[in-house]
A = this chain, B = another copy of it.
């Protein structure tokens, strides 16, 4: 902790609050949240203090995610990252120039503790993708609940690479933990969140992206003089979608979206649902699917009321139960990759699968936008296996 942060806590912070109050006074940081009860949105807001959430990746999306959850008064946050704050991160919300050089988890924990001392913050400063650290990560989320020894209530993936997403997926399949995946495109003008419930929806290994960077992380790219673009707007919106759906899930209001995309160029927000792949490579995913199928119908949680309403199936050969609910707006996105870009891979990229790619041109298929490319191609590729 820096001396300034120490000063902040000792001199300027507010005292802890034992119980959330709905009293409408200027000094009550929870009055506007407790008002959700009077408005008929949430039945018992203070349940949020019994919830623990893991935020993996504390960058442009993860830091704002942690900030929002902290201001909402979440019981406990587990932060995972191994990167340092840099001035090059200042084009996104949350971190400040004085924090350059500090580890992201420590810098974030200092700010979050200062904003809301009622939230328990646990920092984990390591890369979850190495063998030893993966076990630490697994143990941390398995026992990181508000009640000691219980698992966290939800894992939020805010990482920027394929390996870390696969590590989270493996851990959550093994522990049967619900999690949200999130992402923002390299050109900064699209993003998405995806709610993954092992056995019930597609996991990240059931339907991974077809093209992934091969052993290239952001640091490598930087050395070559190239970096991804990013915007505080897109990352703030994706964090907002992620935390809003987290609140709906934890506090039982509204409909939790299975997948929500965002295309900033035309303000388009596609939704879809992905059923799990019965032949998924992840054995725990297959096991969770069998457990889910064996459950009596009454025990299956209705996570998303939209599921029962879904009627339209866009593809006739829908072997894998992939459902797509999207507006019929296919304006090509300036700067988006052409849909056949997987045929001409840039150096450092590889196909996640090596099976032959033969994309069917179904007459009903609409013009692909960036978010939909991988889905169409994925289905064609799965069919050809």
Contacts and interface: CB of A to CB of B under 8 A. Distances in A.
Interface of A: 4, 7-8, 11-14, 23-33, 35-36, 38-41, 64, 67-68, 71-73, 86-88, 90-93, 96-98, 100, 114-116, 186-189, 222, 225-234, 236-237, 239-241, 243-245, 247-248, 253-255, 257, 260, 264-267, 269, 271, 305-306, 327, 331, 334-335
A13 B98 contact: yes
Contact of A244 (B13, B187, B233, B248): B233
Contacts of A245: 267
A227 B264 contact: no
Contacts of A93: 64, 67-68, 71, 93
Contacts of A36: 187-188, 229, 231
Contacts of A26: 86-88, 100, 222
Copies in the complex: 2
A73 to B, nearest CB: 8
B14 A97 contact: yes
Given A27-B88, A71-B93, A97-B13, A41 B189 contact: yes
A98 B5 CA distance: 12
B227 A31 contact: yes
A86 B27 CA distance: 7
Given A40-B334, A91-B30, A68 B233 contact: yes
- A30, A227, A306 pick with most chain B CB within 10 angstroms: A227
A334 B189 contact: no
6 contacts: A26-B222, A29-B97, A31-B227, A39-B229, A40-B335, A248-B264
Interface of A is mostly: loop
A243 B241 CA distance: 16
A122 to B, nearest CB: 21
Top 9 nearest A-B pairs by Cβ distance?
A: A12-B98, A254-B265, A237-B240, A40-B335, A35-B229, A39-B187, A26-B86, A233-B244, A29-B90
Contact of A97 (B30, B115, B247): B115
Nearest to A193: B267
Contact of A269 (B91, B186, B222, B269): B269
Nearest to A268: B269
Contacts of A71: 90-93, 232
A247 B229 CA distance: 14
Contacts of A11: 98
A241 B267 contact: yes
Nearest to A256: B267
Contacts of A225: 23-24
A334 B267 contact: no
A121 B11 CA distance: 28
Given A68-B93, A254-B334, 15 more contacts: A13-B97, A24-B225, A27-B88, A29-B88, A30-B91, A33-B231, A39-B187, A40-B334, A64-B236, A67-B93, A71-B91, A71-B232, A232-B240, A233-B243, A255-B267
Given A36-B229, A40-B335, A239 B241 contact: no
B234 A240 contact: yes
A136 B257 CA distance: 46
Contacts of A228: 32, 35
B90 A116 contact: yes
A86 B68 CA distance: 17
Nearest to A34: B229
Contacts of A87: 14, 26-29
Contacts of A247: 231, 233
B72 A231 contact: yes
A187 B306 CA distance: 22
